Amino acid sequence: MRYEETDLSSLTKRPFRFECGIQLLCISGRSIISTGVEQYDFCKTSELIFLAGSLIEVIKPSPDFKVRMLLFPKNIFLKAALPIDTSYFNYMSEAPYFKHAANDTSLASWKRVNQWMDMAELLFSHPAKYFREQLEQNFLQSLFMWIFNTIPQQYLSIHNKYSRKQILYHRFMVLLREHSTQEHQINYYANQLCITPRYLNEVVIQYSNGRTPKQLIDEQLTAELKVQLSNPSLSIMEIAQLFNFQEPANVSRFFKKNTGMSPKEFRSRNKL
């Protein structure tokens, strides 16, 4: 695990995919945090948690933008999560953003979540010499248990009152964030949700301002491709293999269709 206080300036130049879990607390300023097709207004007292990692890009940060960041490996997360009811993790995956609003209860939770970050800073700013894995697992498990005990009941009750379509939409967005690099077709997501592609199309159009599932898949895939194209050590052939394209030419056609430029032109404009 790793703790850091940062302005995330490297993520303003180009997006980056975190393969580990990530927790962010905004302690000053404001920015838009983009995960591809989703964007969050991230300002002071805001919190984001991506349990399974995510693509992240920082857009238009204010000069004083700063966050506290905790990164946790997937293997530690899986061990920490074992005794905890999966319904809580489903909620966090579907609602990764939380604003600690300006009232006594939420400000108290903001103070306490920063105390957890203080402990993370103490434990993980420098690797522990002994019992490292046990320290990480115990800390993360305790943190999650505390979070689940402090999620305001009104948020859980609202979530429990979601219609079936709303729940399906949120679950589709979680699947998209996690699987878009490998799965490019609507049928995969419909099968995972146990619904027909036609019904998924109806659900997504209703809750995404008229965009279709295929449009969202392509938007997310384009954002993910930009991350890998920003790595000059990867060839187009290697990127095609990473993203489950049969031929490099298919990557080029897809990318040009969705951005107006070829992968080579993108790299040239970004001086890669």
pLDDT in tens, 76-113: 998 998 888 777 777 788 789 988 876 656 678 899 99
Instruction: Give the integer Cα–Cα distance in Å for 166 and 245.
Output: 31
How high is the pLDDT of residue 186? 96
User: Which residues neighbour 191 within 8 Å (Cβ) at sequence distance 6 or greater?
Assistant: none
Side-by-side strand order, sheet with 39-43:
16-18, 54-59, 30-34, 39-43
What would the pLDDT profile of 218-268 be if each residue is shown by its tens digit?
999 999 999 999 888 999 999 999 999 999 999 999 999 999 999 999 988
Band of pLDDT at residue 153, cut at 50, 70 and 90: low
Q: Are strands 16-18 and 97-99 parallel, antiparallel or unpaired?
A: unpaired
Domains recognised in the chain with CATH numbers: 2-84+97-151 (2.60.120.280), 164-269 (1.10.10.60)
In the block, residue with structure tokens 């269709």 = 257
pLDDT at 14: 81
Rounded CA-CA distance 174/193 in Å is: 11
How far is 41 from 32, CA to CA, in rounded Å? 5
pLDDT at 129: 84
